[in-house]
Homo-oligomer: A and B are copies of this chain.
Amino acid sequence: MILKKDAENSFEAVSKGQPKPRLTAGQQSLLDTLQHQPQPLSAQALYGVMRRQQPIGLATIYRALETLKLLGLVQHRVTLTGETLYSAVEHDHHYLTCLQCGVSVPLETCPVQELAAQLQGTSSFRIYYHTLEFFGVCEGCEG
């Protein structure tokens, strides 16, 4: 996927002709940070990253992430340890995870893109993102 670098507000790219929400400085800053991350991050990790550029309270980060999710700008996934990781919706990656040691290997392709577009028309939902993950046991953990 091609991203316009440093769009002043990437909302345009996602929502077309919908009620336009104004992001606060903090939300915008958080979104920018997220869009520049190569990996999904937890709320607490984001708290640490923002700390150096634009300090934002942890509670506010959780609230902002929720808001951005509802706007279709941010997506989430939950790790085996129970922490939620966030990333920009443009970040469409999936993993193969070992149930034993927890190691995650990224997949190269996303076989769901088509179905997502198809569902978009079929269902009455407006679809923002999806999660796809495979679980099993890695070679090293083979018992």
Which residues of A pack against B, CB within 8 Å?
Answer: 19, 69-70, 72, 75, 78, 82, 84, 96, 98-100, 105, 107, 111-112, 115-116, 119, 123-139, 142-143
- Which residues of chain B are within 8 angstroms of A138 by Cβ–Cβ distance? 124-125
Contact of A135 among B99, B130, B142 (CB under 8 A): B130
Query: Are A123 and B96 in contact, CB atoms less than 8 angstroms apart?
Result: yes
Task: Report copies per complex.
Answer: 2
Query: Are B131 and A131 in contact, CB atoms less than 8 angstroms apart?
Result: yes
Q: A96-B123, A111-B111 are in contact. Are A133 and B136 (CB under 8 A)?
A: no
A133 to B143, CA, bound (A): 30
Quick one: which of A78, A99, A116 has the most chain B CB within 10 A? A99
29 residue pairs of the A-B complex, CB under 8 angstroms, read A19-B143, A69-B99, A70-B100, A70-B137, A72-B137, A75-B135, A78-B78, A82-B84, A96-B119, A96-B123, A96-B125, A105-B125, A107-B119, A111-B111, A112-B112, A116-B134, A124-B138, A124-B139, A125-B136, A125-B137, A125-B139, A126-B136, A126-B137, A126-B142, A128-B135, A128-B137, A129-B135, A130-B135, A131-B132
